[in-house]
Structure 1
Amino acid sequence: MTKQERATRTRDALLLAAAQEFQRHGYDRAKLSAISSEAGVSSGALHFHFENKAALAEALRAEASHALRRAARLAHRRRTSALQTLVDLSHALADVLRRSIVVRAGFLLSCEGANGTDLNLRQEWQVCVQQLLAEAADEHLLVQGVHQQQLTGVLVASTIGFEVLSRSNPEWLSCFTVTGFWEVLLPNLAAPETLTHLDPAGTDTAHQASNAAVRTGFVPAPAGPAAP
């Protein structure tokens, strides 16, 4: 193993340990000593990679942002319609959050705005929903008279609510739950001629997008102690 590979392995181990510590105790109560111990490295190794707890939190936010944006880019590139892309993105978001504790912790930290960060992934999701609904309206995919702003609120509140509820029960982020949500909602927002072409369970693009995000290293699982 090269020096660079060892450094990457150590960094991944620290991010995983930090995600676990932040989720168990919250940012304020999380301890650097517990993070380094969980990662199997010395305190010096931790500070070699991250100056302080704020730097660890910022790295987790960046990892979550990168993973979720990568999934969104892939879904957009392979889109069939704005509404199907919105369904696919909701599945990809839920799947990545369910499968990766690093992304989950980074997402939560970004939403809480710890240390005054400007990154808020919930707000980014809201903007994404607004944009796709506007595109769906331009494509004449929505039922007549639907109020886009109200619909955006329902979609954002519901999907973010799944993330909040999943902290005690991960099934809230399951494909079954997200599919059921769309099965109820789509008949009330999609034009009848559009509905038959939509898959509430998500297309292959949704699964490819979440897999791509996870494969890029956002579920670090080092085996044994990591070297600095």
Structure 2
Amino acid sequence: MNVSSLLAFVIFLTSFSVTTAQPADQVDFFPISSGNHWFYRDITNPSDTFSMTMYRDTVDSEGNILAWSSSGLFKRDLQNRVWKIIDTTNNVHILEYVLDADSGETWQVYRDEGSERTRSAEVTGISSITLFGKKVTVKKIEFFIQDDSNPGEKFWAGTDFLADGFGLVRWDAEPGLNYLVTGAIIGGVRWGDLSTVIEESETMPQMTLTLYPNPCRGNLVIQTTGNLSSVNLYTITGEKVPEF
């Protein structure tokens, strides 16, 4: 994606004067299947790049989708809400996105009892743009911080743009920090500029994956992503299963 194309895309994403109907499948606003990749570039500093990869996804016993990524662990529940799991041991999680939310809807992202501050989110615009030659719907989600000591005032904390079929296509965190998607691999389909693609031989991080349903079933098939050097199996009591 050249500089002129990048600037044109920025103009699209900053122009939310027209509200459009939402697409039928809201889960497309955050596709979290394993093998999906996103590549971003800073608008103000094009040499600054960032990428995110979905390494693994599975379904838990309640039907929620869990996805391990280079940016952390995500859960998409049956209400089409996307949670970021901060601490699995203490069940600490934040509500990043409500994919079904329409323009004007808000939700609490998390509540910090220690500082008595609340982070909230609001869909402040829904528009239609053309991304990588495909017409998509984009939701503009703004985040705010509110202090209990001054409940009538809130401070802007960032903006995310979600596009159906592509997920997070831009985020603004502060002046001078504005990342824009330049390429993606979604469901095996390549879009945009992939010149910053991570080498296929990239080392995957060590992960502990929970399998559902009962992993002791004799006909269980364990699906993996990439070339694994080893697989260790453990019983429910934590004992390592001997190699066979």
TM-score normalised to the size of structure 2?
0.21
Tell me which of the two structures has the higher relative contact order, counting C-alpha pairs closer than 8 angstroms and 6 or more residues apart.
1
Q: Which has the higher helix share?
A: 1
Q: Which has the higher strand share?
A: 2
